[in-house]
Structure 1
Amino acid sequence: MNQTYTKSQKIRLLFYILIPILITQIGLYAMTFFDVMMSGQYSTEDVAGVSIGSSLWTPVYTGLSGILIALTPVVSQLVGSKQSKSVSYSVMQAVYLAVTLALVILIIGTFALNPILNAMNLEDTVHRVAHDYLIALSIGIIPLFVYNALRAFIDALGQTRISMIITLCALPINVIFNYLLIYGKFGFPELGGVGSGYATAITYWLIAMVAILVVVKISPFSTYKVFREFFRISWKEWRALLIIGVPIGLAIFFETSIFSAVTLLMSKYDTVTIASHQIAMNFASLLYMMPLSISMALTIVIGFEIGAARYKDAKEYSWIGISMALTMSLVLSAILFLFREPVASAYTKDYNVMMLTSHFLIYAIFFQISDALQAPIQGILRGYKDVNVTFAMSLVSYWILGLPIGFIFAKYTDMGAFGYWIGLISGLALGAIGLAARLRYIQQVKYKKMV
């Protein structure tokens, strides 16, 4: 990355970093999308099972992998402050941490998976598919976390196109294995929705191996000599990463786990309602890739500017990013409203599921404005290494306020399952307001004398 001097230069650089991140995020999301969609074409029970398995896995994965996001501002600030020799050491420690986190998930999952699924009182077929899907997916957890650490390093250097290329190459492989293993084509076993778990695990191994080769062989990454020396584990470095990463991971976990909590609460409804809810949530997650990608791009550029002590430039990037996210949210909301029924039909052939999904998608529209504000601000604050308030705000807005609001609407009004979506929308809106206040404090008070 290079220093920018005008607003137009900043916009160009932000887009240069952003577009590959967006394509990468959509590609990673598309793996889950195709898992759900192709399972839906197989049967309603399979799509319900895969959707529930995915909803349980997503908050765990995003929360713990969020810890590894700490490497992005760390590397960005090291590069911005010309401390390049420390980069390899920090990256290797992040890789060690990634493997450790993956092993922790596997150990806990061994004991916790069945009790969680049993508590949901699912139909037998849905229970079996969800369980076996997660077991299959677990084969790829270690390489997935290693890839996330390496991607944080790659992206921190502003080389986001590399992550994009890796993901785009992996996506068709994921779809092909889905086709072979879900439907049992060309001599492969017909596993239904469970096959999509194995397909995704295979893909995770491939992207990890490619990322390692890129970091070792291709410039500018090879100049940092990552994997050339295997340092001893440094508890001090782990502590430095965890101080930043744990609040980031917890904030992401509180945000994503609220959706899983709603899925658990909705398990009392019939399979059609569960499938419709999960399909609508799956597509809402696709739309979230835009503000999330802007958030990740802002972390990189702002971390670089803060490392170089260019605080005025960091503030200008902030407002460019937020404005961009708000504009895109209006466009995406309009598209979703106009095409909600075709979107629903892409996931399922079941008419009842399709029509109920289209109703849920109307509520998903209201996610967009709040996401367009809170996600970029989270990325901005990470660039400043200000993460603790974001964590607290996520806990309060989603769990202390949002979930109870949803429960009240669902239980004590005639809204039923839609009431939980009202709670989710309320939590997102409250979180966005709190984060906006925190950003104002950081820029107007904490860094005011430095600008």
Structure 2
Amino acid sequence: MKQTETMKQKAVQFLHILFPILITQIALSAIAFFDTNMSGKHGTNDLAGVAIGTSLWSPVQTGLSGILMGITPIVSHLLGSRSKEKVAYQVTQGLWLSLIISLIVIGAGSLILSPVLDFMNLEPQVRDIAFRFLCAIGAGIIPLFGYTVVRSTIDALGQTRISMLITLIALPVNVGLNYLLIYGKFGFPELGGVGAGVASAITYWVIFAIALLIVFRAEPFRSLRLFREFFWLSPKSLKELLKIGVPIGFSIFFETAVFAAVTLLMSRFDTVTIAAHQAAINFASTLYMIPLSICMTLTILVGFENGSGRLKDARQYSVMGISLAVSLSMVTALVLLFAGNSVAGLYSDEPEVIALIQHFLIYAIFFQISDAVATPTQGVLRGYRDVNPAFIICFVAYWVIGLPTGYVLATHTGMGAYGYWVGLITGLAIGAVLLLIRLVRVQRRFAKEYAVQH
């Protein structure tokens, strides 16, 4: 990254960092897409089982990965303040934290997975597929969280093309393994939806190994001397990582977990409804990669400019990013509106399921527009290292307002399953407004502090 003077230079640098992140996020979401899609082609029970498993795993993965992503603003701030010699130590502490979190997740999962699935009162075959899918995913937790730390470091240096290349390698590996293990091709066992979990776990090990090799041997990472020296776990450094990472992780968790909660609450509906709901959520999650990528780009650029004391540049990047996200959300809304039937056909061959998916996608139009405001705004706030208020806002908007509203509408009106989606739309819209208000206040505070200092 480098200092920019004009809006044109900023736009070039913004897109230079954004485009690889977007490709990376789309490829990562494509892994989940192909897991769901290819499982659905094997059978409706496999689609429902993987849907339930993904709904339980996704908020855990994204929330805890969010904690580890706290390394991004730390590293970008160190680079902006010309303290690159401290980067290797911080990255090592991040890997220690990733290992601790992985072991906690594996231990907790072994204790509570069966009771949670039993509580959902699923059809026996769907419950069995969900259980074995999650057990298979568990074999890839350690490399997945380790890769999150390494990738966040790569991105913080502005080398987002490296992350893109690693993920583009991972995608065909995952799809190929899905084909072999879900359908039992070329002598491999036919595992159905469970095969998607096995394929994902193997893929996580592959991308972690590639990422470690690159940062150890390639420039510009080599000059940072990453992993050249061993550092013991430091409680003080972990505290600093957690101070930034925990609010980020919980903000992400509250948003993703509310979708998982809706899926759990919808388990009282039939298998077709569960499958259609999850297919629609899966596609909407793929579209969500656009504002999420802009969010990550803004964290890097705003963190770099803020660390350098260039507050005007940081503010210009934030306006540029949020405006782009909203504009693109209008385009994706048109895709959902006019191509909903074609999208639904990607997930199932059964007319009843396709019709339900298409109906759910209409509701997805509204909450993905709110995401286009809320998610990039959170990225800017992380660049300013202002993370605690966003975490509180997300909790209130999604869990105090959104989920209860959806439950009331689904249970006490004739809306049924669609009531939950209206609740989600309500919570996301309120969260977007509150986050924007917080951003305006933070930027004004930083401007006043800068004026006093100078």
TM-score band w.r.t. shorter chain? over 0.9
- Find out whether 1:443 has 2:438 as its counterpart: no
Q: Which runs of 5+ in 1 are unaligned?
A: none
- Within-5 A mapping of 1:311-326: 311-326=311-326
- What residue is the counterpart of 2:82 in the other structure? 82
- What residue is the counterpart of 1:31 in the other structure? 31
| Cα shift at 1:128 | 0.4
- What residue is the counterpart of 2:230 in the other structure? 230
- What residue is the counterpart of 2:135 in the other structure? 135
Letter in 1 for 2:65: S
- What residue is the counterpart of 1:125 in the other structure? 125
Letter in 1 for 2:195: G
- Within-5 A mapping of 1:279-318: 279-318=279-318
The question of whether the paired residues in 2 share the 8 Å contact of 1:44 and 1:350 is answered with: no
How big is the alpha-carbon RMSD for the aligned residues of Structure 1 and Structure 2? 0.7
- What count of residue pairs does the alignment treat as equivalent? 451
- What residue is the counterpart of 1:378 in the other structure? 378
Matches of 2:273 and 2:304 in 1, distance apart? 46
- What residue is the counterpart of 2:175 in the other structure? 175
The question of whether the paired residues in 2 share the 8 Å contact of 1:57 and 1:134 is answered with: yes
| Cα shift at 1:69 | 1.0
Q: Among the aligned pairs, what percent are the same residue?
A: 56
- What residue is the counterpart of 2:204 in the other structure? 204
- What residue is the counterpart of 1:159 in the other structure? 159
The question of whether the paired residues in 2 share the 8 Å contact of 1:166 and 1:210 is answered with: yes
- Within-5 A mapping of 1:392-431: 392-431=392-431
Q: TM-score if structure 2 supplies the norm length?
A: 0.99
Q: Deviations 1:375-428 (Å, cap 9, x if unpaired)?
A: 000000000000000110011000000011101110111110000000001110
The question of whether the paired residues in 2 share the 8 Å contact of 1:77 and 1:307 is answered with: yes
Q: Deviations 1:98-128 (Å, cap 9, x if unpaired)?
A: 1111111000000010011011110011000
- What residue is the counterpart of 1:341 in the other structure? 341
The question of whether the paired residues in 2 share the 8 Å contact of 1:298 and 1:376 is answered with: yes
Matches of 2:138 and 2:372 in 1, distance apart? 32
Matches of 2:67 and 2:223 in 1, distance apart? 25
Q: Deviations 1:189-244 (Å, cap 9, x if unpaired)?
A: 00000001000100000000000000001000111111111101111110000000
The list of structure 1 runs, each at least 4 consecutive aligned residues, that deviate by more than 4 angstroms after superposition, is none
- Within-5 A mapping of 1:97-112: 97-112=97-112
Matches of 1:293 and 1:429 in 2, distance apart? 20
- Within-5 A mapping of 1:4-43: 4-43=4-43
| Cα shift at 1:449 | 4.3
The question of whether the paired residues in 1 share the 8 Å contact of 2:311 and 2:446 is answered with: no
- What residue is the counterpart of 1:262 in the other structure? 262
- Find out whether 1:368 has 2:363 as its counterpart: no
| Cα shift at 1:448 | 3.3
Q: Deviations 1:296-333 (Å, cap 9, x if unpaired)?
A: 00000000001101011101100000110010000110
The question of whether the paired residues in 2 share the 8 Å contact of 1:336 and 1:365 is answered with: yes
Letter in 1 for 2:28: L
Matches of 2:45 and 2:212 in 1, distance apart? 38
Q: Deviations 1:37-74 (Å, cap 9, x if unpaired)?
A: 00000000000000110010000011111001110000
- What residue is the counterpart of 1:250 in the other structure? 250
Letter in 2 for 1:279: A
